[in-house]
Amino acid sequence: MSALPVDCSRYREPAVYSKNDGRLMNKPADAPREHAVEIRFGQVGLVQLRLHTTDPGSILDELTGRTATAPHFFERTAACLDLSLLAKPPSVEEIRAVVEIVRRAGMLSVGLAQGGASDALAQELEMPVFSHIRAPNKPVPVVQAPPAVQAAPAPEPALPALMQHQPVRSGQRVYARNRDLIVIATVAAGAEVMADGCVHIYGPLRGRVMAGVHGDTEARVFCQAFNAELVSISGVFRVFETIPADLAGVPVQAWLAGDDLRFSKIGE
Amino acid sequence: MTEIIVVTSGKGGVGKTTTSASLACGLARRGKKVAVIDFDIGLRNLDLIMGCERRVVYDFVNVIQAECTLRQALIKDKRLDTLYVLAASQTRDKEALSSEGVRRVFDELTADGFDFIICDSPAGIEKGAHLAMYFADRAVVVVNPEVSSVRDSDRILGLLSSKTLRAEQGNGQVKEHLLLTRYSPKRVATGEMMSVGDVKEILGLDVVGVVPESVDVLAASNAGIPVILNENSDVSRAYEDAVARLLGETVPLRFVDEPKKGLFARMFGG
C-alpha cells in the first residue's frame, strides 16, 4: 500500500551538500552519517475518503461494509479526508468525530485534501493538507437540472429532427446537421451519434454521443438508458471509463453549465 | 428463386466455415439445391471442412477471371446429390475478386436453378468480407458469447445495413439472423460466459440457433465431414434446428440450459 515507487536494486545515494565546504559531492553509501535527519521526497499510496456526510453512524456503516471485503488491505492504512463534496463546511468537532470513526474502521486519518475550508480546519486539527491529489475518476456531480433556457421569441423555421429508426451499430456514425437527432433504437458501444442540436436516444445508449457539435452550448443530450462511452456538448466532453452507479442504465440528461458538463437523472 | 445467404462474423475463429458447411449440408439434405462458396481467398478452408480438398482443380478466382467455366469449378459433394462446393484460391489474394465477377457467378447459379447460395465470408471487414455480403438476401451472423465477438458482430451488422446491394438500392433490408456458437450453458451459469439473452439484448436480433461447445466440431473438421452429419452429436441437432428455422419453421431452442444431473451421475460424479 505505502510502497515507494523506487527500484531499490538500482538505488544510489543522492547527492548531498557537504556541511564543511558546501560543495556538491557524491557521498558513498558506507560513509558515516553526519545528519540528525534527512529529508526525502517520495510518493506513497494514500486512501482518499470523500465525505458525502459527517454523520459518524453512516460513515462507520459504509466503511466497515467496504473494509470487510479486504480487512488486511485497509488495516492501518493512511487515509486522507476530502471534504470538498460536503454540502456545508464542517466544524472542527465534526471532523474530530470523523477521524475517530475512521480509526474505528481500521484506517488512520493523516490529513485533509486541499479545497474548501480545509486549510483552517487543518490548522486547528494540526493535520497536513494534501494538495492536488490526482483523482483518477472525477465524480460526476449529479445535480438538479435548471429549466431549459427560454427559446428566442421568433425562432427561425427549424428543420425537423433527423429520425434514426435502425440500431446504430459499432463503427457507424449518424450526424444530424443543423437539427436535432432522435434515435429510436440502440446506440451500440463503438457507435457515434452527433447533432448540431440536441440528441434524444430512446434505446440503450452504449456508444458516444455529441450534441451541439457546431458550438451550440444550449444543446442537450437526453437518453432512456445511460451507458455512454463519451458525452460531449459543444466540444466539452467527458469519457466514462466506468458509469457512475447513480446514472447507469437510467434516463439521464446532460447539459452544459459554463465549461462544465452536468448530468442528472430524468423524472426525479 | 435463389436465396443468397452470407455467413459472417467480423471476428475470426468463431465458426463461420463450420457453420457454412453444416447449413449447406442441412439445406441440401432437405432436398434444396445448394452451392457453398469460400470467399476467403488465399486462406481457403471450406474444402477441408467439406472433405473435398483433393478434388479442387479450378477455384472461385479461376471462374471470376474466366479461366474456366463455373461447371468445371463446382465440386459435387459425394454424400449429398444437391450440394456443390466452390473452393477459394489458395495462391491468389483477395484483390482477385471483383464485384462484377461475383455477380456473374451468382447470376449463373441462379440460372442453374440453385435454391441457396451460401457465402462463407472471411474474417475482417475488407474486400473479401465485403463482396461476400454485398449481394446477400440474408445474413447469418456467427457470434461467440464473449465481448469482442459481440462487438465485431455489431460492426458487421452495421455494414450489412449500409454496404450491401439491398441497402444501396433501398430494396429492403438484408434479413439478419444471429447464430451463437461454442455456447457452454455451464459456463453461462457460473457467469464466465455471456448468455443468449445478453447477446440478443446487445445486438437486438433474434437467434436462429445456439450451437453448444463440443469436441465433435474439431473431430468433424479433421475428418472432413461437416459436423451436422454426425448424428450422435448435439452440435448436429443444433445446426439441424437452425436450418429448420432458416426455412421458416418454429423450433424451440435447445442446448441453452445446463442438463440436470441425474441421481446416479451426481453419486458417481458423471
Is A190 an 8 Å CB contact of chain B?
yes
pLDDT tens for residues B9-34?
999 999 999 999 999 999 999 999 99
For residue B268, is pLDDT > 70?
A: no
Distances (CA, A) of B142 to A42, B86, B102, B147, B157: 53, 21, 23, 13, 11
State the pLDDT at residue A43: 67
| Angle between helical axes of B147-160 and B127-134 (0-180°, round to 10) | 60
The shortest C-alpha distance from A190 to chain B (Å) reads 8
pLDDT for A104 = 82
Among A168, A170, A192, the strongest candidate for a mutation testing the B interface, having the largest count of B CBs within 10 A, is A170
pLDDT of residue B224: 95
How would you list the strands of the sheet with B207-212, edge to edge? B75-76, B83-86, B34-38, B116-120, B3-8, B138-143, B175-183, B207-212
Q: Is the pLDDT of residue A78 over 70?
A: yes
Residues of B in contact with A172 (CB under 8 A): 158, 162
Q: Which residue of B has its CA nearest to A205?
A: B202
Look at the block and give the residue holding cell 444550449. A218
| ipTM for the assembly | 0.70
Q: Do residues B177 and B8 touch, judged by C-beta distance below 8 A?
A: no
The tens digit of pLDDT for each residue in B145-174 reads 999 999 999 999 999 999 999 999 987 889
Average the pLDDT over each of A45-49, A156-160, B67-71, B205-209 and give the range with the smallest value.
A156-160
Q: Which of B51, B25, B14, B45 is nearest to B246 (CA)?
A: B25
- Do A207 and A191 meet the contact criterion of CB atoms below 8 Å apart? yes
How many angstroms separate the CA atoms of B77 and B33, rounded?
Answer: 11
Convert chain A into a string of H (helix), E (strand) and C (coil): CCCCCCCHHHCCCCCEECCCCCCEECCCCCCCCCCCCCCCCCCCCCEEEECCCCCHHHHHHHHHHHHHCCHHHHCCCEEEEECCCCCCCCCHHHHHHHHHHHHHCCCEEEEEECCCCHHHHHHHHCCCEECCCCCCCCCCCECCCCCCCCCCCCCCCCCCCEEECCCECCCCEEEECCCCEEECCCECCCCEEEECCCEEEEEEECCEEEECCCCCCCCCEEEEEECCCEEEECCEEEECCCCCCCCCCCCEEEEEECCEEEEEECCC
**HEC secondary structure over chain B:** CCEEEEEECCCCCCCHHHHHHHHHHHHHHCCCCEEEEECCCCCCCHHHHCCCHHHCCCCHHHHHCCCCCHHHHCEECCCCCCEEEECCCCCCCHHHCCHHHHHHHHHHHHHCCCCEEEEECCCCCCHHHHHHHHCCCEEEEEECCCHHHHHHHHHHHHHHCCCCHHHHHCCCCCEEEEEEEEECHHHHHCCCCCCHHHHHHHHCCCEEEEEECCHHHHHHHHHCCCHHHCCCCHHHHHHHHHHHHHCCCCCCCCCCCCCCCCHHHHHHCC
How far, in Å, CA of B66 to CA of B145, rounded?
A: 41
pLDDT at A134 over 70: no
Q: How far apart are CA A7 and CA A161, in angstroms?
A: 59
Q: Which of residues 202-241 of B touch A (CB under 8 A)?
A: 202, 204
All three cell numbers of B102, joined, read: 461475383
> Which is higher by pLDDT, A123 or B2?
B2
Would the pLDDT of B40 be above 70? yes
The fraction of chain B above a pLDDT of 90, given in percent, is 84
Quick one: what percent of chain A has pLDDT higher than 70?
A: 73
Nearest CA in chain A to B125: A171
Q: Could you tell me which residue, A113 or B105, shows the higher pLDDT?
A: B105
Average pLDDT over residues A49-69: 79
Pairs of residues, one from chain A and one from chain B, whose beta carbons lie less than 8 Å apart:
35
pTM, 2 dp: 0.65
Q: What is the C-alpha separation between B107 and A194, in angstroms, rounded?
A: 40
| pLDDT for residue A7 | 45
Reading the block at residue A161, the C-alpha cell is 429532427
**Cβ pair B158:A168 closer than 8 A:** yes
pLDDT at B182: 96
Q: What pLDDT is stored for residue A51 in this prediction?
A: 84
Q: What is the pLDDT averaged over residues A107-123?
A: 80
Q: Mean pLDDT, to the nearest integer, of A145-155?
A: 55
The reported pLDDT for the residue numbered A243 is 83
- Pick the residue with more confidence: A43 or B191? B191
Nearest to A231 by CA among A255, A214, A197: A255
Question: Is B79 within 8 Å of chain A by CB?
Answer: no
Question: A188-192, B69-73, B259-263: lowest mean pLDDT where?
Answer: B259-263
Q: Is A168 on the interface with B (CB under 8 A)?
A: yes
Phi, psi values for residue B177, rounded to 5°: -125, 145
Q: What angle do CA A11, A13, A17 make, to 5 degrees?
A: 155
Cβ neighbourhood burial of B220 (10 Å; 0-12, 13-18, 19+): buried
**Chain B residues whose beta carbon lies within 8 Å of the beta carbon of residue A188:** 154, 158, 202
Does A164 reach chain B within 8 Å, measured CB to CB?
no
Per-residue model confidence (pLDDT) at position A61: 81
The band of A58, judged by pLDDT with boundaries at 50, 70 and 90, is: confident
Question: Average of pLDDT values for A65-78?
Answer: 72
pLDDT in tens, B59-88: 999 999 999 999 999 999 999 999 999 999
User: What angle (nearest 5°) sits at the alpha carbon of residue A128, between those of residues A125 and A133?
Assistant: 130
Least confident among A86-95, B34-43, B129-138, B261-270: B261-270
Least confident of A137-151, A161-175, A220-234, B224-238: A137-151
Q: Which chain A residues are closer than 8 Å to B202 by Cβ?
A: 186, 188, 206
Cβ contact (<8 Å) for B154 and A170?
yes
Provide the Cα torsion B111, B117, B122, B123; round to 10°.
140
pLDDT higher than threshold 90 for residue A137: no
Q: What is the mean pLDDT of residues A142-150?
A: 63
A12 has a pLDDT exceeding 50: no
Q: How many residues in chain B?
A: 270
Residue of A nearest to B161 (CA): A166
pLDDT of res. A19: 44
What's the mean per-residue pLDDT of chain A? 78
Residue A151 confidence (pLDDT) above 80: no
Report the residue from B151, B159, B204 with minimal CB separation from A189.
B151
Q: A191–B158: do the CB atoms touch at under 8 Å? A: yes
> Which residues of A fall within a CB distance of 8 Å from B155?
169-171, 190
